[in-house]
Structure 1
Amino acid sequence: MSIQIKGVVEHKDIGVGVWALVADSGETYELMDAPDELHKPNLKVQVTGLIRDDVMTLAMIGPVLEVNSFEVLN
């Protein structure tokens, strides 16, 4: 099931580094398959994607969000 999450993109210095979405609700999601255009710290976005319960990562900063699309917000 696809979900939409609004928040701010952050780069976390864990291991080799990981891109995350800090939702307006305060929850942190690790971004998976995020396009390069989404790799910008402090970018306010709405991301549409899937929560992947079948994926583990080294960073383990929160649920893994597989990015299907995104929209930059003002």
Structure 2
Amino acid sequence: MDAPISSPTTTQKHASTTGGSTTSSQSFVPPPPPPVQAKRPSTDAFIQDLNLVAEAAKRAQMAVLMRDMEGIALS
């Protein structure tokens, strides 16, 4: 009952060192190069952050409201 217990890792090591029967008929095809990206405008990084866009929209809305309300006088 003292027989060695072979685990999958020792079996793989043994197969790789003895030239196991794992032959591959597929040839290696290198992956295509990544597409060349055009230079993006510097504002794209800010547009992607929706919090900054929301803040800018609120500020613009308040600016228009203040511009429109400054001519109104209460009597």
TM-score by length of 1: 0.15
Greater RCO (CA < 8 Å, at least 6 residues apart): 1
TM-score by length of 2: 0.15
Higher normalized strand content (fraction of residues): 1
Select the structure of larger CA radius of gyration: 2
Higher normalized helix content (fraction of residues): 2
